[in-house]
Amino acid sequence: MTPAQDFIDGGDGCYRLEVPGPGIVLTVGRLARHSGDLIGELTVTCDLPGAKRVNGDGPLLIGNLNFSSITAREARAKMLAKRAEAGDFDWFGTLEYFCQRVIEAERTGAPAVMLRDVPKPNADAIVSIHGLPVLIDHPEILFADGGACKSLIALARAGELARRGVSVLYADWETSAGDHRDRLEALFGADMPDVLYARCEAPMTFEADRLRRLIVAHGIKYAFFDSIGYGCDGKPEDAEVANAYFRALRRLRVGATLIAHINRSENGDQKPFGSAFWHNSARSTWFAKRSEADGNPGEVTVALFHRKCNTGPLLSARGLRITFGGGRITIQPTDLAESDDFAGKLPLWQRMRGTLKQGPLTLVAMAGELDAKVDTLDRTVRRSPRLFTRVAGADGVTRIALVERRPA
């Protein structure tokens, strides 16, 4: 055996050593530093006759190992020799070689490169669903108070992505497969799109290995995580908890929508609940707010406000009209300027656009409609030539109108 040929660096803190002949395989994952020691979960399998494997064909041994401790390595080698019942195999030498290679690989890390030599990345893939962009290659956060339909919106996005040929995973810490199945049918009918579902119980830092296997096995390109609060390995307010979550997420190597909650503070609608690192680590964040004054039974309006974007400018607020009835759920874009609950919270240019959809108005008439100053409206028109224009009325009075959009 040439050990150097059998050591495999799987990336993201995962390593493997394969020993031909006896069919021995040592695998380590979930590596982390604790008080300076390198600790990871070691799994050992083998094909030796008489080996005491779990369930007859399972692993020989699984458990955390302090790779930095010679005493721990020696004790583990003795345990492996006892369970394998192979008196002539050098378990200590094999384990020692593996541990030294892992320590060396972790110490060395990824090689440094000249930025000018790095291949130029592809442009960010963006898919628009219900008028909202989905960043296929990056993590986004959708956060809201309870009952704001954020899980429903996420599931609808998952189904639409699947319909467009993007394989998706819905990882869920909150509800159940049956509940999501019923919602998916209500959204799409009997011909439901392929949405792979995974119920999660442990924190993301522990679930990541299982989720990564599912992602590889099913060719998943985008994932949804509902919700990050329940997937935390500690308090969401702690910076290290948020950082550990995103390190685990990065190992999955897919774009994702993370669902989060808000706190009750005055600025709770600006960032997800918890450490500032949730907001800082996401490439884009959206705050969702459900209307309480729709007045239409079986129908709600959800406003989505863009709070952060690292891949481009902040986008204007978006609206979704969600209708429930007859066992079906429909989600359609809607103009928030037409909602009594949200119109006053929109930027002036969006309110102007909503008002002018009914037809051109003079500045004075529009000022009365919007309770705004004429000078402010005039300045907005001059600054937004792609949205607004001036037209002469039949009475000779100049009015403000929307710029006509022509098909490309």
What pTM, to 2 d.p., does this model score?
0.76
Is the pLDDT assigned to residue 358 strictly greater than 90?
A: no
Examine the domain organization and report whether 291 and 159 are in the same domain. yes
Would residue 116 count as lying in a domain? no
Would residue 187 count as lying in a domain? yes
Would residue 249 count as lying in a domain? yes
Examine the domain organization and report whether 50 and 104 are in the same domain. yes
Examine the domain organization and report whether 322 and 358 are in the same domain. no
Cα–Cα distance measured from residue 36 to residue 222, given in angstroms and rounded to the nearest whole number: 35
Q: Which pLDDT tens digit goes with each residue over 118-156?
A: 988 766 688 999 999 999 999 999 999 989 999 999 999
Q: Please check whether residue 287 is in contact with residue 270, taking contact to mean a CB–CB distance below 8 angstroms.
A: yes
Q: Which pLDDT tens digit goes with each residue over 10-33?
A: 777 789 999 887 889 999 988 888
pLDDT for res 123: 64
Share of the chain above pLDDT 70, in %: 95
For residues 332-360, average pLDDT: 86
Tell me the CATH number at 361. 1.10.10
Examine the domain organization and report whether 72 and 200 are in the same domain. no
Would residue 30 count as lying in a domain? yes
Q: How many structural domains are present in the chain?
A: 3
Q: Select from 125, 131, 218, 128 the least CA-distant residue to 170.
A: 218
Examine the domain organization and report whether 256 and 382 are in the same domain. no
Is the pLDDT assigned to residue 58 strictly greater than 90?
A: no
Would residue 278 count as lying in a domain? yes
Would residue 140 count as lying in a domain? yes
Examine the domain organization and report whether 272 and 362 are in the same domain. no
Of 108, 141, 165, which closes a domain? Answer: 108
Domain that holds residue 385: 347-402
Of 305, 338, 371, which closes a domain? Answer: 338
Examine the domain organization and report whether 164 and 229 are in the same domain. yes
Of 77, 108, 139, which closes a domain? Answer: 108
Examine the domain organization and report whether 32 and 15 are in the same domain. yes
Would residue 117 count as lying in a domain? no
Examine the domain organization and report whether 75 and 166 are in the same domain. no
Cα–Cα distance measured from residue 239 to residue 337, given in angstroms and rounded to the nearest whole number: 38
Cα–Cα distance measured from residue 321 to residue 140, given in angstroms and rounded to the nearest whole number: 22
pLDDT for res 406: 60
Q: Which pLDDT tens digit goes with each residue over 258-305?
A: 999 998 776 788 999 999 999 999 999 999 999 866 567 789 999 999
- CA angle at 304 for the pair 298 and 305, rounded to the nearest 5°: 155
Would residue 305 count as lying in a domain? yes
Tokens 């299982």 correspond to: 210
Examine the domain organization and report whether 333 and 359 are in the same domain. no
Half-sphere exposure for 288 (CA within 13 Å, toward CB): 24
Half-sphere exposure for 182 (CA within 13 Å, toward CB): 5
Examine the domain organization and report whether 359 and 235 are in the same domain. no
Cα–Cα distance measured from residue 45 to residue 80, given in angstroms and rounded to the nearest whole number: 10
Tell me the CATH number at 158. 3.40.50.300
Examine the domain organization and report whether 329 and 364 are in the same domain. no
Cα–Cα distance measured from residue 91 to residue 17, given in angstroms and rounded to the nearest whole number: 13
